[in-house]
A and B are shown apart, each in its own frame.
Chain A
Amino acid sequence: MMRTFLSLVNKEILGFLRAWGLVAVVLYAFTLDIYIAGKGIELQAKNVSVGYVDESGGVVSLKILERLHAPQFKPPVRFLSQKELDRALRNREIMVGLLFDNDFSRDYERSGHARLNVLLDATAAAQSFQALQYLQHILLDFSEIHFPVGLKIHKLFNPNATTSWFMSLAELLSMMTLLGVILTAAVFVREKENGTWDMMLLMPVDPRLIILAKSFSQVLILSLGIVIATGLILFGAFDVPIHGSIWAFFLLSFFYAFTSAGIGLFVAAVSRSMMEVAQLAIFIMMPLIFLSGAWTPIHAMAPWLQKLSLISPLRYYIEGSESIFFRGTAWGDLWPYFAGVIGLGALVYLYGFRRIGRLF
């Protein structure tokens, strides 16, 4: 039986390697796609464009402006009137407008108190809010008041807030989900499309063994993909730190690969062509990916979504992987994630297994 199993797995892997188009797509997804997401999606405010109108005529405003520099700010641009600044803001060429009015430097010299008017283009809410906080920092620094309270802030796990670490990992987990479904569904549907399905039915092998071998071969491909992506892109290109155990991550991914293969089995059972596989996969996986915390932590979402996400195996996979990579959670504390992935995964896989089994 083991020999039959192995030769079936072997057949599927050969079939995969010969479909060069599929190999190219999988390689792209596990390397370049993750690279682009990690490199391109930057959410932190950098290079903020600043414009100012200076009617104060003093040196204070110039001293403040000097402090707006890279990487947070672009060199401030001077506008001659508030009207011009307004127009630039409306055309979204400038994100932060500073108005130093007549009394600004007089007030500052006389009493130390002064008011600086700031106009923010809040169409980009997150970045303009951050820019405001940068400004607050700069002014606090500038005023040189000695607070009796010191603050020591430790940003744990990612002290410089490098977005690429987070984005590349999130993209890898999403890709893992999407490919797991599409690849597994593809090995069955290709047989339907090519007309070799009947040969499968006629084979003197237990259909359960066929299903198991077919899905296992794809789990192997996925596992290899995740090793390549982790080594080449996460560690190689982005220097993502790993505070926990890499084996924990690989093990969790291995179990999760079975879960997504299970969804793939279900998709394969209900679709007749690759086109239908692609459509169904998108409609099932997109909600799963977006509502399981890939882009936003679960507890930042609407309460009803939080409850819903409890039944998503991806939720546990994402939280678990982030904990392993960034929080450095120990093996013993990882059990909720393993339990979630394995428990829900087993249910999903069994369901998919039975659905596709009916076709034999």
Chain B
Amino acid sequence: MKLGVVRAYMLKEIKEMLRSKMIVLVYLLPTMIVILFGYGIRLEVTHARTVILDHDQSRLSRDLIGHFRHSKYFDTRVMNITEQQALHRIKQAKTEILIIIPEGFEKRLIQGVGTEIGVFVDGAFPIRGETMANYVEGVIFDAARRLMPPKEAKLITLDNRNLFNQAMRDENAIVPGLIGLILLVAPAILSALLIVKEKEEGTIFNFYSSPIKKSEFLLAKLFPAFVLHSVNIFLLFLWATWLFEVPFRGSFTLYWFASEIYVLISLGVGLLVSIITSTQIVATVLTIIITIIPGFLYSGMLMPISAMSAESVIEAHIYPVMYFNHIVYDTFLVGQGLASPKNQLYLAILLAYAVGLILLGSFLMKKELR
């Protein structure tokens, strides 16, 4: 390997990247994705727009309304309209929850006769609808339990401790997973483009016909991409901890090291894509398709691996995202570090992926026109 040749080639790559605005893509895309997804995905529900129709107007019904008023989960309005009008408001997407307290609510309760509260929830967003229904149930049963004599209220109460993410913030749950998504997509696109661009423009013949070796060529192509995206590892860390205030409890060294290996894996994926494609647009689309789906669906970001069905678990084990995300979530939220045998194993698997993909890519690449 001639280092002089490699250095010259690398210099050319870096100059080209600076001139072609590719550098903007390298740094803008990751930051954009983390900000968009971090702000744009909200699974927790607060301030649900609630309308209460109080047909009873008694002390108890007002007491119940007070419970809703004091909860941050609801923005409660007591309205004096008919049930039809209220349902119409849900259809117009002006209201999400409608609670109807029937006439004689207090009287029947005091007499010990059963009474029924009607609740309508907008279920167009399924997980939101489900959560809202559960909130309403929780508030009403809580209020009811307080009214009952303690002897009758035989109940097993739950004492829950939310590990790793006490306040159950969405940001803590999603942003670390985004790092695994971005560091899989972005370096792969870059490395695929760097090689396919030469194919499309015909300058690849310089490589075919010059005495430069395949290993030198690959080193010159992949090394700048590797260094540029290594900066993103820090940048993403900064967004996560500073902008989204995700706690970081583990070892930074582990996060850094695992991420560098992961960037290598991504570069390897891009290398493989560049072998089978010949135009930049196809290379970009193909890379996005094969990286985004595992990065989203089989990464454990939106759905934990342990809660997947059996076949999805097997699929998840095929892609490298799952192993990386396990380590990232560990360093951010759990904090076991390398003391955990599972993290050690996953790190080794990542290393094997990186070496395997890059070796495979360089083996399949041909230094001749086919």
Spell out A's residues near B (CB within 8 Å).
Answer: 21, 25, 36, 40-49, 64, 89-95, 108, 111-130, 132-133, 135-136, 139-140, 142-143, 145, 147-159, 161-163, 165-166, 274-275, 278-279, 282-283, 286-287, 290-291, 295-297, 299-302, 305, 319, 322-323, 326-330, 333
Residue of B nearest to A291 (CB): B40
The 10 residue pairs across chains A and B that have the minimum distance between CB atoms: A112-B154, A122-B165, A290-B40, A126-B43, A161-B126, A326-B124, A158-B123, A155-B123, A122-B162, A150-B116
List B239-267 residues whose CB lies under 8 Å from chain A. Answer: none
- Please measure, in the bound complex, the distance between the C-alpha atom of A36 and the C-alpha atom of B315, giving whole angstroms: 14
Query: Please, which residue of chain A has its CB at the minimum distance from the CB of B153?
Result: A145
The interface centre, meaning the residue of B160, B280, B296, B334 with most chain A CB atoms within 10 A of its CB, is B160
Residue numbers in B under 8 Å from A128 (CB-CB): 162, 168
In angstroms, how far is the closest chain B Cβ from the Cβ of A85?
A: 11
Q: Shortest CB–CB separation between residue A12 and chain B, in angstroms?
A: 19
Point out the residue from B40, B158, B309 that lies within 8 Å of A132, measured CB to CB.
B158
- A sample of 11 more A-B contacts (CB under 8 A), given A148-B144, A275-B284, is A40-B296, A44-B126, A93-B306, A113-B155, A114-B156, A120-B161, A126-B43, A132-B160, A158-B124, A286-B33, A319-B93
**Cross-chain contact B109 with A154 (CB below 8 angstroms):** no
Given contacts A123-B172, A125-B168, A156-B120, contact A300 B42 (CB under 8 A): yes
Q: Is the CB of A327 within 8 A of B90?
A: yes
Instruction: Give bound CA distance, A349 to B209, whole Å.
Output: 49
Please report the total number of B residues contacting A with Cβ < 8 Å.
98
Residue of B nearest to A107 (CB): B156
Pick 22 A–B contacts, CB within 8 A, sort by A: A43-B127, A48-B306, A90-B340, A113-B157, A117-B159, A120-B160, A123-B173, A133-B134, A139-B158, A148-B109, A148-B144, A149-B109, A149-B115, A150-B115, A153-B120, A156-B122, A157-B123, A158-B123, A275-B284, A299-B49, A327-B93, A327-B124
Q: Is B348 an interface residue (CB 8 A)?
A: no
Whether the Cβ atoms of A21 and B282 lie closer than 8 Å is yes
Say whether B45 faces chain A, with CB atoms less than 8 Å apart: yes
Cross-chain contact A124 with B303 (CB below 8 angstroms)? yes
For B308, what are the chain A residues with a Cβ–Cβ distance below 8 Å? 47
**Selected contact of B117 from candidates A36, A44, A152, A282, CB within 8 Å:** A152
B309 lies within 8 A of A157 (CB): no
User: Does B317 count as interface, using CB distance less than 8 angstroms?
Assistant: no
Min CB distance, B96 to chain A, in Å? 8
Is A153 within 8 A of B125, CB to CB?
no
Q: Separation in Å of the A318 CB from the closest CB of chain B?
A: 11
A95 touches B302 (CB 8 A): no
Q: Which of B7-15, B135-143, B350-358, B361-369 lies at the interface?
A: B135-143
The residues of A that contact B148 with a CB separation of less than 8 Å are 145, 147-148
CB of B126 within 8 A of CB of A115, answer no
Q: Judge whether B114 is part of the interface by a CB distance below 8 angstroms.
A: yes
Q: Is the CB of B114 within 8 A of A43?
A: no
Determine if B164 and A157 form an interchain contact, defined as CB atoms under 8 angstroms apart. Answer: no
Residue B166, interface by CB 8 Å: yes
Question: Within 8 Å CB of A152, what residues of B?
Answer: 116-119
Q: Is B281 within 8 A of A274, CB to CB? A: yes
Tally of contacts, chain A with chain B, CB under 8 A: 293
Q: Are A147 and B141 in contact (CB under 8 A)?
A: yes
Nearest CB of chain B from residue A358's CB, rounded to whole Å: 22
Whether the pair B39, A118 counts as a contact (CB closer than 8 A) is: no
Residues of A within 8 A of B306 (CB): 48-49, 92-95
- Scoring B residues 25 to 52 as 1 if CB is less than 8 Å from chain A, else 0, what string do you get? 1001100110011011111111101000
Please name all residues of chain B whose beta carbon is closer than 8 Å to the beta carbon of A122 when the two chains form the complex: 162-166, 168, 172-173
A308 to B237, CA, bound (A): 27
Q: How far is the CB of B309 from chain A (nearest CB, A)?
A: 6
CB distance from B2 to the nearest CB of A (A): 32
Cβ B168 vs Cβ A129 within 8 A? yes
Contact A135 B158 (CB under 8 A): yes
Given A149-B140, A296-B41, the answer on whether A92 and B304 have CB atoms closer than 8 Å is yes
Complexed CA–CA distance, A319 and B124 (Å): 10
Residues of chain A with a CB closer than 8 A to B347's CB = none
Closest residue to A39 on the B side, CB-wise?
B297
For the complex formed, measure the closest distance between the CB of B153 and the CB atoms of chain A, giving whole angstroms: 6
Q: Is the CB of B133 within 8 A of A155?
A: yes
The answer to whether A302 touches B39 (Cβ under 8 A) is yes
- Shortest C-beta distance, B122 to chain A (Å), equals 6
Specify which chain A residues have a CB less than 8 angstroms from the CB of B122 in the assembled complex: 156-157, 327
CA distance A169 to B36 in the complex (A): 20
Q: Among the listed A43, A140, A161, which residue makes an inter-chain contact with B123, where contact means beta carbons less than 8 Å apart?
A: A161
Is B219's beta carbon under 8 Å from chain A? no
Report whether B119 and A287 are in contact in the complex, using a CB–CB cutoff of 8 Å: no
Complex: chain B residue closest to A89, CB-CB: B163
A123→B157 contact, CB < 8 A:
no
Given A45-B307, A95-B304, residue A290 in contact with residue B129 (CB < 8 A): no
Question: Contacts A129-B168, A133-B134; is A153 near B119 (CB within 8 Å)?
Answer: yes
What's the minimum C-beta distance from A354 to chain B, rounded to whole angstroms?
A: 25
Instruction: Report how far A60 CA is from B69 CA in the complex, Å.
Output: 37
Question: For the complex, what is the distance from the CA of A193 to the CA of B42, rounded to whole Å?
Answer: 42
When C-beta atoms are compared, the residue in chain A nearest to B176 turns out to be A123
Residues of A within 8 A of B43 (CB): 43, 125-126, 296
- Whole-angstrom distance between the alpha carbons of A289 and B125 in the complex? 16
Residue of B nearest to A143 (CB): B155
Chain B residues positioned under 8 Å from A162 (CB to CB)? 126
Please tell me if B55 contacts chain A, counting CB pairs below 8 Å.
no
B121 contact set on A, CB distance < 8 A: 153-156
Contacting pair B117 A299 (CB below 8 A): no
Q: Is B3 an interface residue (CB 8 A)?
A: no
Tell me, in angstroms, the Cα distance from A163 to B119 when the chains sit together: 21
Tell me whether B128 is interfacial, beta carbon within 8 Å: yes
Complex-state Cα separation, A13 to B296, whole angstroms = 34
> Of A127, A143, A163, A283, which one neighbours B304 at CB under 8 angstroms?
A127
CA distance A297 to B128 in the complex (A): 9
Give complex CA distance A324, B155 in Å: 43
Contacts of A121 in B (CB 8 A): 163-164, 304
Q: How far is the CA of A129 from the CA of B123 in the complex (A)?
A: 18
Instruction: Assess whether B160 is in contact with A123, with CB atoms less than 8 Å apart.
Output: no
A49 contacts B159, CB within 8 Å? no
**Within 8 Å CB of B230, what residues of A?**
none
Residue B216 at the chain A interface, CB threshold 8 Å? no
Q: In the assembled complex, how far is the CB of residue A168 from the closest CB belonging to chain B, in whole angstroms?
A: 12
Inter-chain contacts of B293 with A (CB < 8 A): 36, 40
Chain B window 284-320, contacts with chain A (Cβ cutoff 8 Å), 1 for yes, 0 for no = 1100000001001100101111111100000000000
Q: Report yes or no: A153 in contact with B136, Cβ–Cβ below 8 A.
A: yes
B92 at the interface (CB under 8 A from A): yes
